[in-house]
Structures are given as structure tokens and as C-alpha cells.
């Protein structure tokens, strides 16, 4: 039993070491780790502790073990089965209003930046996503294109950090809102309003009018909030 | 070898199940998990796969194994040795400007909310932190009080999600900025300016003037950015 506790501590130290090497840029995306035998010697630890650390790093999406090739540094943290932010938030009794607040904050930023940075190609893509959403057959598909619309604006804004934050927030949002309610938002009554709002946002981005883009996004977010909080 | 791959898949499924139960509120902070023997039967899996899943959940700070008592749901994700957001960001070649942008966004929100929500006790605490910072002997201590000042504003703003985001951002920031540079910011030349800015922020919060508080925070953030980006 004591050995297990020891092992846990050692494996955490190994995790911290690898994390530190990534943060200092000594390990980069795609890098291969030294063979496990060499690592146990360098770190002066046993095989079980190393395995435990690598396994944990693999589950979180920082390391990938490729059969017969060894262990590689990867960036799969977004697809990770762990959503620590979401879990922590849920466990501290966070509520949906807090998520909506954060989303407003992010969307306000991304739409302003998009209005400043967007080129012709960017607005064409936004328009195409909008068209695909209008022509989609199911509310499920429409919901997917809606997400893509907002992610695309974030992509145009060119801040990787805020991009991945929008994705986390979106995941958090989905896990808090009842799916039926979420889908009903893309139903007949409210969908025309969404289309209209998206078009106004595209127009403002096209004109590089950051203030108007933010104003339009604000109206859009308000409508989403009012709808969802009433239906919940 | 194939057994390992199998195990990994199974343990990931177990992780997803537990994660889902947390997100649906079926498992709450402090809850005890069923005994491992029972879990292997319910989930129809082997002991090694269960152990692997629990270990990974433990390292990330969602589960705590208490010797002789069993496994408990906890919320240690913030103290977790994993900082997936930071790691992912570093691995996708994010840069310091993006972190500063996100920090501005968060601080703009928290200071406005703090100005709206702060009561007398809150501003007294802010003033006390400020005094402690002024009286601290070392730049290291001053830097700690400075952090506490900003965290306290976030606490007053009452959004748990944005609070924990500020902490992640702060961690990310620290790991990107050279420590000597960071400490030099709290040196003689620039420290009086920081004190002055903090006092103006406290005043605006005390007067419940959200606009002025945001303006003062904006000036403060600008000075930090200019300083750090020049010294870097």
C-alpha cells in the first residue's frame, strides 16, 4: 500500500518534469521521448512509476504511445476525454449564467478582432457557412453550422488561446443545457431571427466596423440568453 | 501488447462514464465511489482497467483515493499537476501577446463587476492587500500581493468560471515571462506607478463606478504590457 503512495508521488514528479520541459520549449509537438528504459535510468525511477506518468499524460492528450515506435509529444488536449475546466466548474456548483457571461466576453472580443482582421476570403467563408445553415435539413445540422459560424469568427480573430477557450466554453455550455431545449432554438419560430442576426454580423465584419459588429453580436447573444433561460 | 491497447480503451470509457456522472450531477464533490470490486462488476471490466482510470482521474484531481476509506470525488483540479490549457497553448506555439489579450478581457470584466457588486468589506480587503504590498520587504512578496489584489477583484465579481480562468491565465503568463523580468517590474522605478494605479482602481470600485474602474484597469494593463514587452 505504501508503495502505491510512493509511486503516485514519483509519477507526479515525472509528470511535472515533462510538463516543465514542454513549457520551457525543450519538448515540442511531434518530439519523440527517449526510450522507457533510458528514462527510468535518467530519472532514477522504477518502470511502474514511469508507466503511470506516461499513461496519465496519454489520457490527457499530451503524450501518444505509438505501437513499436515509442512515446511522442502530441497536442490532443482538446480531444482529451478530460475536461478539467468543465469538471471543476460543475463540482464547484457553477451555473449556466456564468457560462453565458464568459461566452459574451469571448464573442465580443472575437467579433471585434474579426472585423479588424477579416479579408475577403474570410467573409466568403462566413457567408458559405451561413448558407449551409439555411439549407441544412435538420435542426441538428443547423446547430452544427451555427457553432461553426461562431468558431470561424474566432479563427479570423487569430488568438489561439481565446479560440480554444471558446471551444471549452461551448462544450461546457452544451453539457449544461438540455439538448431538446438547445435544438428547439433552431426550430421554426426562432431560426429566422438567428439567420438575420448572423447576416448583420457578417455585414459589419465585411465593413470592418468593429463597433457595429460587437453591437450586433451583443443583440444576438441577448436573444440566445433570453431564449435559453426562459425555456430551461 | 494488445491487452494494453484494450485496457486503455476500456479505462477511457470508464473515465468518460465518471465524467458524465459528474456533469449530470449524479456524482458530487465529496461523494464516495462504490468499492472497486463492485465497480468492476457493475461496469463489467477488469481490475487493471479500473485502476488505470481511477489513477488518471486522481492525477487530474477529480478523484482522491483515501487509504482504507476508498475513492472520493474531489475538486482539486486547480491544484492539479496538469495544466492542459497551458500545455496545449504552448504546443500550438501560442505567444505572450495572446495571453495579455485574454488577461485584459478578464480583468475588464472582473473590475466592472466588482465595482457593481463590492460592499464595504470587499473594499477594505482590497485596501489591506494594497497596504501589505506596500509594506512587503521583497519584490517576491510584492509580486504575490499584486496577484492577490487581482484575484480579490475577481472574487468580488462572483463568477467562479472567470475566476478560475484568471488563475489559469496567470499561471500561463508566469510560465511565459522570464522571472527576473517579472520581478524587476516590482522594483523601485515602476512600483510607485503600480501602487498609484491600484489605489485608483480601489477608489473607483468604492464609488461603484464601473466605467471608471475599467478605465483605470485599462491604464494599469497597458503599463504592464508596455513594461513587459519592452523588457522581454
DSSP labels, A3-31: HHHHHHHHHHHHHHHHHHHHHTTSS-TTP
| Parent domain of A197 | 84-231
ipTM above 0.85, yes or no: no
Is A150 within a domain? yes
User: For residue B1, what pLDDT is reported?
Assistant: 33
Query: Would you call A12 and B81 a contact, using CB atoms and an 8 Å cutoff?
Result: yes
Which residues, 6+ apart, have CB-to-CB distance to A74 below 8 Å? A29, A30, A61, A62, A63, A64, B91
What is residue A119's three-state secondary structure? coil
Task: For residue B79, tell me if it sits in a domain.
Answer: no
| Same domain flag for A32 and A121 | no
Confidence of residue B226 (pLDDT cuts 50, 70, 90): confident
Q: What is the pLDDT of residues B120-153, one digit of tens each?
A: 999 999 999 999 999 999 999 999 999 999 999 9
The residue out of B73, B100, B116 marking a domain boundary is: B73
Task: Evaluate if residue A78 carries a pLDDT over 50.
Answer: yes
- CATH code (residue B147): 1.20.120.530
Taking Cα atoms as reference points, which of B94, B187, B189, B178 lies closest to residue A29? Answer: B94
pLDDT at B85 over 50: yes
Chain B, window 40-69: residues with a beta carbon less than 8 angstroms from a chain A beta carbon = 52, 55-56, 58-62, 67
| % chain B with pLDDT above 90 | 47
> What integer pLDDT is reported at residue B58 of this predicted model?
80
- Residue B187 has a pLDDT of 79
Residues A6 and A42 in one domain: yes
Domains contained in chain B, number: 2
Closest CA to B59 of B5, B15, B7: B15
Digit-coded pLDDT (tens) for B46-82: 887 888 788 778 877 788 888 889 999 988 766 554 4
Strand, coil or helix: B107:
helix
Whether A102 sits inside 8 A of B11 (CB atoms) is: no
Only one residue has cell 470525488, namely B73
Q: B48 and B115: one domain?
A: no
Banded model confidence at residue A22, pLDDT cuts 50, 70, 90: confident
Q: Are residues B115 and B189 in the same domain?
A: yes
Please state, rounded to an integer, the average pLDDT across all residues of chain A.
86
Q: What is the mean pLDDT of residues B202-212?
A: 98
Q: pLDDT value at position B3?
A: 42
Residue B221 corresponds to which cell in the numbers above? 494593463
Size of interface A-B (CB pairs under 8 A): 168
Evaluate if residue A56 carries a pLDDT over 80: no
Q: Which of A52, A73, A89 sits opposite B160 (nearest CB)?
A: A89
| Residue B80: per-residue pLDDT | 55
Confidence check: pLDDT of B202 > 80: yes
Residues A129 and A177 in one domain: yes
For residues A118 and A180, membership in a common domain is answered with yes
The percent of chain A in helix, strand and coil, each rounded to the nearest 5, is 75, 5, 20
User: Would you tell me which residues 123-152 of chain A have a C-beta closer than 8 angstroms to some C-beta of chain B?
Assistant: none
Do A68 and A162 lie in one domain? The reply is no
Contact B62 A84 (CB under 8 A): yes
Give the per-residue pLDDT at B82.
Answer: 47
Of A44 and A217, more confident:
A217
Amino acid at each position: 500500500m505504501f508503495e502505491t503512495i510512493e509511486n503516485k508521488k514519483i509519477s507526479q514528479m515525472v509528470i511535472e518534469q515533462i510538463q516543465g520541459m514542454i513549457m520551457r520549449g525543450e519538448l515540442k509537438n511531434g518530439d519523440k521521448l527517449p526510450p522507457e528504459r533510458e528514462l527510468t535510468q535518467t530519472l532514477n525511477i522504477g518502470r511502474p512509476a514511469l508507466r503511470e506518468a506516461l499513461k496519465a499524460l496519454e489520457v490527457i492528450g499530451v503524450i501518444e504511445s505509438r505501437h513499436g515506435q515509442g512515446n511522442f509529444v502530441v497536442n490532443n488536449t482538446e480531444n482529451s476525454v478530460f475536461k478539467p475546466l468543465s469538471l471543476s466548474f460543475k463540482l464547484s456548483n457553477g451555473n449556466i449564467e456564468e457560462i453565458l457571461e464568459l461566452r459574451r466576453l469571448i464573442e465580443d472580443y472575437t467579433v471585434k478582432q474579426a472585423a479588424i482582421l477579416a479579408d475577403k476570403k474570410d467573409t466568403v467563408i462566413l457567408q458559405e457557412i451561413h448558407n449551409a445553415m439555411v439549407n441544412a435539413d435538420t435542426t441538428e445540422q443547423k446547430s452544427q453550422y451555427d457553432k461553426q459560424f461562431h468558431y470561424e469568427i474566432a479563427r479570423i480573430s487569430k488568438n489561439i488561446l481565446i479560440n480554444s477557450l471558446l471551444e471549452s466554453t461551448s462544450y461546457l455550455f452544451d453539457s449544461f443545457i438540455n439538448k431538446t431545449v438547445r435544438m428547439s432554438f433552431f426550430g421554426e419560430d426562432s431560426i429566422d431571427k438567428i439567420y438575420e442576426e448572423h447576416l448583420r454580423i457578417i455585414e459589419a465584419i465585411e465593413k470592418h466596423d468593429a463597433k457595429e459588429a460587437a453591437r450586433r453580436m451583443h443583440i444576438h447573444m441577448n436573444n440566445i440568453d433570453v431564449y435559453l433561460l426562459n425555456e430551461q
